[in-house]
Amino acid sequence: MRRALGAINKNQKGLTLIEMLVAIAVSSFIGVGIMAAISQMFTVNALSTNHVNAVKQVEKAVYWLSRDAQMAQIVQPAGGSGFPLNLSWVEWDDTRHQVTYALENDKLRRSHSVNGGEPSWITVAEHMNTNPEKINCQFASGVFTFKVTTSISGFRSASETRTAQVIPRSAP
């Protein structure tokens, strides 16, 4: 039995050059396919992440603008795009609120002061598209209408736009 195994091993000569080249080619095709799948996964992930971020930013802007506009008794958009936007109201206990929305670079910033005190500033949303056609507001016939757009650039850019209308409460 041992001689039979030895005889088999002596007769083997290894792989031919053609067999090696075929094995390398097949391995290369499999590797390229795996790399293409991984690349596609990263591309889809980047696009999805940027789109989700754009949606979150535009929803934050809509939330804050709608919230304050519903409370407002006085709505004063500026000329052009409507920003800076001034909103003010008086609560039942005579507390006076003044809110200003301003565009600073690509950020929508909110200033809030109570009873004429020192205003506090927060950044409501980032990646705002500052083109007046993409972000604007107006107050006409008792209805506050605004449009906001976020644009995220990078590997895969994404953009999201929302338009909303709010009827502010009436002045006292």
Q: What is the pLDDT of residues 97-128, one digit of tens each?
A: 999 999 999 999 999 999 999 999 999 999 99
Token readout for 15 is: 């792989």
pTM for the predicted model, two decimal places: 0.73
- The pLDDT score that the predictor gives to residue 34 is 85
The letter for the amino acid at 155 is F
For the chain, which residues make up each domain, given as ranges? 39-166
- The pLDDT score that the predictor gives to residue 153 is 84
Under-50 pLDDT residues of the chain: none
- The pLDDT score that the predictor gives to residue 23 is 86
